Amino acid sequence: MNHGPSAARGFMTTFLDRYPKQHDRQILFFPPALTFATVRDALHDRTDIGLGIQNIHWADKGAFTGELSAPIARDAGAEYVLVGHSERRHIFGETDQQCADKCAAAERAGLTPMLCVGETLEQRERGETESIVTRQLKAGLSMLAQRDVTTSLIAYEPVWAIGTGKTATPNDAAQIHAVLRNALADLVGDKASTVRILYGGSVTPANASSLLAAPNVDGLLVGGASLDPEGWSQIASASA
């Protein structure tokens, strides 16, 4: 919940000046809903950058004042949607079933869901990380056909590392990403290797490259560090 339309215009000007087209990676923006059109218009000739929405309701339409449906987001120009972000789960109480419903709604409308999974510090200390992320992954994807699972995006975001300055080490990330890859193999077999799994949690320009170099880490989901266009352009340009 940052950067209204006015701030976003300046942000996009600065970022795009510092980030020329690069064809070996994919960059996605997930702006707030009221800022979406501003970012979309700024990207009119940047086909190398994708655009998503931060949240959707699971119904296609109806009496849900204040909510956004997947068809509305798609009509506005969204290609992707975040589902099950830790803040949605832990602040707003979203359940695994609601995440499954949202992934299904996204696919119906032609959006690609990015399903977020991750454990709290308490769950980590109890040794529950693997069971938590596996449960969240399989539940969230449970209503999708195999084809749609393989085109979805997964993001591992340990709740204890979001906005805290604490970051999972590359080895930590690689370990849990391997768990997620194995869980995906249970769902889609050998095609699990094609599903992109991102890491999110206190990503900075200083640690982006080392995280990207970790096995099974296919990308980064960047939160607070993406609010600065110069720092974000450095992360977007990072190489493993």
Rounded CA Rg of the chain: 17
CA dist 2 to 38, 141, 174, 193, 199, Å?
13, 29, 30, 34, 21
Active site residue 157: yes
Q: What is the DSSP letter of 237?
A: T
Active site residue 85: yes
- Tell me which of 85, 94, 107, 177 is the catalytic residue: 85
Side-by-side strand order, sheet with 112-117: 27-29, 49-53, 80-83, 112-117, 153-156, 196-200, 219-221
Phi and psi dihedrals of 46, rounded to 5?
-110, 75
What is the C-alpha separation between 143 and 214, in angstroms, rounded?
30
* Residue 229 exposure: Cα atoms within 13 Å on the Cβ side: 15
- Tell me which of 3, 87, 157, 177 is the catalytic residue: 157
Strands 80-83 and 112-117, how do they pair?
Answer: parallel
Active site residues: 85, 157
